[in-house]
Each structure stands twice: as structure tokens, then as C-alpha cells.
Amino acid sequence: MKIYSDEKYKKYLIPLTGRHYKEKEPHIECVRGGIIANEHIKGYGVFDEQFNFVKSSAQHHKGRKGQFVPKFNHDNIPYIDKDAVYLCHCGKNNFGHFILEHLNRGWCFLDKKYQNMKVVIVDEIGCGKINDYIFVLLGLLGVKKENIILLDKTTKFRNVYIPEPAFDISAYYTEKYRDMFNKMADAVPDAEVYEKIYLSRCKMPMDRHTFGEEIIQNIFKKNGYKIIYPETLPLKEQIALVKNCKVLAGCAGTALHLALFMKSGGTVIQIKRNSILADNADTQHLIDTTKGIDDVFVSGSLEKVKTDHWSVVPQIIGMTEYMREFFEENGFMYSDKDLESFPQIWQDYENALGDVTESGRFLLWLKKKFIKYSSCVLPTRMMRKKYRHFMQDRLF
């Protein structure tokens, strides 16, 4: 791992990545007459025929096991006389969260035995649909669309198979998790090969736009990188492009998680786009470690107002001393002409920052604090989490 940043960020990031470890190979637990509970805000999970909670079905997050174990009516539970794989809960249907925190049980489909079973995704927030990328990813693992069940209510099955999570975000990885992404990549036909790819955010909606990225990506382009806009391409095409590249670069975000489809021996270059210490670099490092990929982190933020990794306040990157050090140390060619549009970009950034300021940055801060502290009155971690997601969707 190579970090181009100040010492403060290095002292923050290095201990986090040092906690990552390789876990033993995961196993699969079979529960005869298993009950997959979906009590929505009250919780979800798998129970045996004596209504005991099966601990292996608990959600993992950052090294922790456990979630709110629901109570439910034991009478008249619907029964499906089929074997089922307990895969995950639906969450907020975010691609990055799905591949890291929900698909981590999907390694079981490396074995054909499980590909033809019913695959259960618990719809605990009542979204009522499965995003297309979930069908695509599971299809690449050999799962047929008609075998996927979005479970809206507590249901009993003939047998429920519970694969142990093979990846725990910011904690551990396994070879099975790596092999699962290798299988998906192999199932996608090859596309034109670009050894060096830059994944751009420039065509994302303005509320997720990173000012100054145009300048930085053009320098990458000038030095042999193919510029890709992931959100403009079908998922299979994204995988086809990424799987054969040797270097993958871009700003911090979900797009760089596509490194899971790369071959070992490559490199990921992540540009830090916020100035607060916390970002997703430790998660990206665990992804890269899983795939045997080197990673490089470059502090690129020039923002006037400090932001979190995810922010409604505008962010801006540019030619910081660390970006310049990275370019020069790695033989990138560029000139002052490549930077001449930056004054206008800075003005655009300040205008966007002014719009947020006028609407009240204090109000944004107050909303965050209200959500955080008002959730503390709820008795369980799962209920607090659901409440925070609910309030964020409505206040932002």
C-alpha cells in the first residue's frame, strides 16, 4: 500500500488496514424445516422448527455479529416445500452495499448443488422489488431469475441452507469470496482490453459531482488511461472492461469496488475527494487485499468546507502537493496548460458552495445531529439503523 498524503491521514489509515485478516473458509449450515422470518422493522433471520434463532443467519458488519431477533406468530406460517438458500436482506438496494454486505453469502453458488435451489432475499424494508443488477450478478453465478424469492412475510421451507458470510466489510476476507468474483468475471465475454482505466464520476448527477475531476482525469487520459463512465454502461460491460485491466483509477466511491472483478497482480489508484479523515479507503484496501491487488491512495481534496465521504456539500479535487508528488513519482506527463481551466472550476465550486450555504449549512448539520441523537432512544441497533435510514431519505 502506498499513501500520498499528510502524516495525519497516514496515521489514521494504516492502523485500520492493519486490522484486516484472512478468515478460515466459510461453511454452510442446513436447518431442517427452517423458518425465514421477516417481521420488517422488528427484525429478520432464520429459525429452526423449535423457533430458536439460528445465529449463523445474523448480519455481519465490521467484525460484529448480531441483530435484532424478532418475535413472530408461530401459528399458520406459510410453507414452501422446497429447499432454499438464505442469501441476504434487501437493504437499500445500493450496488456497493450489495456486493460487500449482502452478496457475501453468494459463494455457495460455486457449488452447482445450490444454484437450482430457491434463493431468498428478505424484503425487510418493503421495497417490493429486486434491482436488475442483483439478477445479473446472481445469473453470473448460475442462479436462474425464477428461483429468486423476495420474501415479504415469515415463511417456512423444507430445508434452509445458510452460507456463512465470506467477507466482512473492514474486517476479514476469504478465498471463497475472491473465487466467487472470479467466477462472475469468467462468465462475462471479453471486451476490448484497456490495460489502464480511469472510472469517472463526471456524468453522475450534480449532487454527487466532484469539481475538478475533469482536470485530473484528463491528465490520466493524456498518460494512456481509458476514461469510463460506469453509470452509462450495462453492468456486464463494466465487468468485461475491468476484468482484464491492470490498473484501475478514480475518485473514492463504489465504482472502484469493481476491482473485485480484476485479476490478481493489478493496481488500484484511489483519489481522496474529502478532507475529513474518515473515508472508505480501509474498505477499498480490504477489497484489493482479497484480490491480491496493490493499492495507492492519493489525497486530492482542495475543498473550502470540510466534508464527509458522502456529502451534500460540494467537493473539489485538484493539483494538491500529494497529487503532484504522485504524478511526478509515477512518470505522468502534464503541463500548466492542463491546469488552465481550474480558476473557472474553482468559481463554479464556490457558486455551488454558496447555494448550499444560502440554504443553510447549519441546517444540514442540525439535521444530521437530530437523526443521530434522536435514534438513541430506540432500544436496539437494528431499529436505530432503520430509523436513521428512514429519516435520511426524508430530510435530505
Instruction: Give the pLDDT score at 307.
Output: 84
| CA-based nearest residue to 289, from 168, 190, 187, 193 | 168
Identify the helix (H) or strand (E) that includes residue 221. helix 213-222
Which H helix or E strand runs over 155?
Answer: strand 155-163
φ/ψ of residue 337, rounded to 5: -65, -30
- Positive or negative, the CA dihedral 160, 40, 380, 388 is positive
Beta-strand pair 60-61/44-47: unpaired
DSSP string of 122-145? Answer: E-TT------HHHHHHHHHTT--G
User: In angstroms, how far is CA 249 from the centroid of its own chain?
Assistant: 16
Pairing state between β 118-122 and 79-89? parallel
Given a contact cutoff of 8 angstroms between Cβ atoms, the answer to whether 201 and 250 are in contact is yes
Q: What are phi and psi of 126, to 5 degrees?
A: 70, 35
How does pLDDT run across 74-110, given as a tens digit for each residue?
A: 999 999 999 999 999 886 668 888 999 999 999 999 9
Cell (9 digits) for 135: 439478477
Query: pLDDT tens digits, residue range 173-215?
Result: 999 999 999 999 999 999 889 999 999 999 887 667 899 999 9
Helix (H) / strand (E) element for 267: namely strand 267-272
The full set of domain ranges for the chain reads 2-19+186-340, 27-165, 360-395
Distances (CA, A) of 360 to 25, 209, 303: 50, 20, 18
Within the chain, which residues score under 70 in pLDDT?
A: 60-67, 91-93, 206-207, 357-368, 379-383, 385-386, 389-396
Q: From CA 216, how far away is CA 322, in angstroms rounded?
A: 13
Point out which residues pair with 227 in neighbouring strands: 198
pLDDT at residue number 205 = 76
What's at 345, amino acid-wise?
I
SS3 labels along 55-102:
HHHCCEECCEECCCCCCCCCCCCCEEEEEEEEEEECCCCCHHHHHHHH
SS3 content of the chain, % helix, strand, coil (to 5): 40, 20, 35
- How many beta carbons lie within 10 A of that of residue 265, not counting itself? 10
DSSP letter for each residue of 167-199:
EETTTEE-HHHHHHHHHHHHTSPP----SEEEE
Pick the CATH number of 2-19+186-340 from 3.40.50, 3.40.630, 1.10.3470, 3.30.530: 3.40.50
pLDDT of residue 375: 78
Of residues 110, 241, 111, the one with CA closest to residue 188? 241
Q: How many helices (H) and strands (E) does the chain have?
A: 11, 20
Q: What are phi and psi of 385, to 5 degrees?
A: -60, -50
CB atoms inside a 10 Å sphere around CB 86: 28
